[in-house]
Every structure is written in C-alpha cells, then in structure tokens.
C-alpha cells in the first residue's frame, strides 16, 4: 500500500491568525492557541486540496497527522470537512496527540506516528509532508521496512509527483536527492 502522511499545520492549515490571537507581551498563551473555539481562524493553504487529490489519484491513501491535542479532534474534523479536506480511510485520521503523550516532544511524536501508521496500514511506500525541518529529519532518521520519502511542503511533493519538474526531497537515507 502507498501511504501519504501529511502534517496538518503548515502544509494544509495556515494557523497564523490563531498564533496572532494567542501571542501576548509575556509570550504565547497556549490555552488560547489550543482552544477549539479559535480553530475557525485557520485558513486552507492554497493548493492543498488539489495536492491531496493528486496524491489520491496516484494511488496513495492520504492520512493527516498533527500534534494538536485530542481535545481538538471534533473542531479539527469539522474544519477539515468545511474545507473539503477528506482525510483518509479510518476514523482515527487525523492522527492527533493522545493525552498520554502530553509531554512528548513533537519531533518524537511525529516519528512515532509515521511508524505506527505505516505499520497499521502495511505500507510499502510512505510519503511524508512535514514543514518543520527538525521533525522531518527525525521522521527520516529511522530504518524502516518500507520506502520512505519526505518533503517539506506539498509544493515540493507535487513537483516530485510530476516527473517533468525538478523536485528535491529527502529519502530514507536522509540525503537530499532529486526524485
């Protein structure tokens, strides 16, 4: 099975308005940022819906992952549906941060999410789109039984999907390489 796992924040959802709302002179108010009532402020990144459709047309099952807490699931699913982002083949998508992982670093959490999803779906090929370089590096740092490619944006992933363009991503050896 071919699986595309896409980070929600950044590649799909622009959270900048929520960040602005939560920013205070004393720093970030994370309770405000993670309040589900403010999720409506997020906007769809231009072209994200078309990129997901392209991946699906090329035989990828598409799942979303996010480090948002489980308490934001209902609002996150509603946001995805309102933006016509259909996100997979199971009720667990998007994969979110479970309560037991509250203090787990996002870099570790996302690497674990990718490995678990690839295993659950018996993936032979996994494409990951993660805009935070530190997270993508961690995801690609492990030996896997499946072929793993990582991209820092949906635009880079789309360039790879269209061989006539020059896309540069990272493979599971951690090397930057053209695809």
d(CA 122, CA 125): 9
d(CA 104, CA 98): 10
Local confidence band at 162 (pLDDT 50, 70, 90 cut-offs): confident
Q: What angle do CA 155, 158, 162 make, to 5 degrees?
A: 140
For residue 35, pLDDT beyond 80: yes
* Domains of the chain, CATH where assigned: 2-14+47-178 (3.40.50.1000)
- Encode pLDDT of 97-125 as tens digits: 988 898 899 999 999 999 999 999 999 99
CB 161 within 8 A of CB 54: yes
Best CA proximity match to 54, nearest among 151, 173, 175: 151
Which pLDDT does position 173 carry in this prediction? 54
* Terminal alpha carbon distance of the chain: 19
d(CA 72, CA 95): 11
Which pLDDT does position 178 carry in this prediction? 38
Local confidence band at 47 (pLDDT 50, 70, 90 cut-offs): very high
d(CA 67, CA 131): 13
Q: What is the pTM of this model?
A: 0.87
Give the mean model confidence (pLDDT) for residues 36-61.
Answer: 95
d(CA 101, CA 29): 20
User: Can you tell me which residue has the tokens 């991503």?
Assistant: 169
Local confidence band at 169 (pLDDT 50, 70, 90 cut-offs): low
For residue 80, pLDDT beyond 80: yes
Mean pLDDT over the full length of the chain: 89
For residue 86, pLDDT beyond 90: no
Give the mean model confidence (pLDDT) for residues 19-33.
Answer: 97
d(CA 29, CA 18): 10
**Which one is predicted more confidently, 178 or 92?**
92
- Encode pLDDT of 88-102 as tens digits: 656 557 999 988 898
For residue 148, pLDDT beyond 60: yes
């Amino acid at each position: 099975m071919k699986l595309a796992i896409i980070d929600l924040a950044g590649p799909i959802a622009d959270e900048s308005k929520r960040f602005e709302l939560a920013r205070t002179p004393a720093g970030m108010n994370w309770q405000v940022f993670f309040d589900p009532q403010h999720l409506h402020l997020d906007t769809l990144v231009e072209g994200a819906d078309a990129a997901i459709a392209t991946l699906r047309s090329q035989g990828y099952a598409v799942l979303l992952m996010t480090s948002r807490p489980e308490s934001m699931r209902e609002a996150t699913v509603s946001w995805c549906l309102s933006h016509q982002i259909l996100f997979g083949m199971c009720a667990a998508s998007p994969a979110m941060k479970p309560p037991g992982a509250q203090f787990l670093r996002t870099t570790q959490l996302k690497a674990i999410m990718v490995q678990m999803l690839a295993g659950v779906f018996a993936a032979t090929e996994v494409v990951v789109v993660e805009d935070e370089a530190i997270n993508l590096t961690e995801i690609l740092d492990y030996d896997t039984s499946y072929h793993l490619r990582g991209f820092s944006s949906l635009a880079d992933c789309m360039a790879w999907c269209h061989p006539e363009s020059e896309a540069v991503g990272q493979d599971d050896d951690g090397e930057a390489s053209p695809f």
